[in-house]
């Protein structure tokens, strides 16, 4: 019995010493009595919350560190892949996608693989790759216009003109890419012998570029001259 009492007394002594130390700190802070009383009554809950917050902060810091490490590693793998040629480059770029799927390097790797397929005349493979990438990126992604422009060109090369039109119409909705989309749409309508739509689209392009002066004076002038020549040819 005396051993049990001594054990309880020891625990009480330890707990009381912690409480006294805690109360001493509160006294030094010179807080209002009401706040001191609240802190004394809820010190266990307060310490629990503080511990949780500390764990969250540490976890976030570790995640940020890991993310930075992964991004750097992915970028190095992508750069190394670009130094290779032929099948070795394609294999290395596919490895970047598999190992670092959620990084910008993986996205650029897929774009490079699309160019490889395109150069080899594998239009279907290139289109499938870009369609998959488009669905992954989302409508507001900064790379989305690049994907749409490439998709439109690939559909043109593969003689899927209706799908090319759809891609360029989506591109037209992105600010800053209206002129590019209109010139491509006009050319498509012309090749599809839809003269009225071609004329209307070319005229919209001329009006837009005259107001905005897009793409710089020299390039804009050349593009406008080409569109004007197309208009003249259709209207003859």
pLDDT, tens digit (0-9, with 9 covering 90-100), for 66-124: 456 667 888 888 888 888 888 898 999 889 888 887 788 888 888 889 988 988 889 99
Question: For residue range 192-228, what is the model confidence (pLDDT) as tens digits?
Answer: 999 999 999 999 999 988 865 544 444 567 888 888 8
What pLDDT is recorded for position 215?
Answer: 46
Distance between CA atoms of 87 and 17, rounded to whole angstroms? 72
How many CB atoms neighbour CB 97 within 10 A?
Answer: 19
Q: How many residues does the chain have?
A: 236
pTM above 0.85, yes or no: no
Determine the 3-state secondary structure of 193 from DSSP.
coil
Q: How far apart are CA 123 and CA 155, in angstroms?
A: 8
- In angstroms, the CA 78 to CA 100 distance is 10
Question: Are the C-beta atoms of residues 137 and 108 closer than 8 Å to each other?
Answer: no
What is the distance of C-alpha 181 from the center of its chain? 22
Select the more confidently predicted residue: 54 or 99. 99
For residue 65, what pLDDT is reported?
A: 54
Say yes or no to pLDDT of 32 above 80.
no
Q: Compute the distance between CA of residue 78 and CA of residue 203 in angstroms, rounded to an integer.
A: 42
- 27 has a pLDDT exceeding 60: no
**Strand, helix or coil at 171?**
helix
Q: Residues 118-172: pLDDT tens digits?
A: 888 899 999 999 999 898 887 788 889 999 999 999 999 899 999 999 999 999 9
């Amino acid at each position: 019995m005396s051993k049990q009492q001594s054990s309880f007394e020891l625990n009480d002594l330890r707990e009381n010493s912690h409480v006294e130390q805690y109360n001493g700190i509160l006294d030094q802070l010179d807080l209002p009595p009401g706040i001191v009383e609240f802190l004394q009554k809820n010190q266990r809950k307060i310490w629990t919350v503080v511990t949780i917050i500390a764990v969250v902060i540490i976890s976030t810091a570790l995640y940020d560190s890991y993310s930075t490490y992964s991004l750097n590693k992915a970028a190095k793998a992508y750069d190394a892949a670009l130094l290779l040629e032929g099948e070795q480059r394609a294999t290395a770029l596919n490895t970047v996608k598999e190992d670092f799927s959620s990084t910008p390097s993986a996205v650029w790797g897929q774009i490079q693989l699309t160019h490889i397929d395109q150069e080899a005349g594998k239009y279907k493979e290139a289109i499938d790759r870009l369609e998959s990438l488009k669905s992954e990126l989302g409508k507001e992604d900064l790379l989305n216009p690049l994907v749409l422009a490439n998709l439109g060109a690939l559909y043109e090369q593969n003689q899927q003109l209706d799908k090319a039109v759809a891609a360029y119409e989506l591109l037209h909705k992105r600010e800053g890419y209206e002129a590019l989309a209109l010139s491509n749409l006009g050319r498509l309508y012309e090749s599809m012998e839809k003269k009225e739509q071609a004329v209307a689209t070319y005229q919209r392009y001329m009006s837009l570029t005259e107001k905005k002066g897009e793409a710089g004076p020299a390039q804009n002038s050349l593009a406008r001259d080409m569109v004007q020549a197309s208009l003249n040819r259709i209207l003859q």
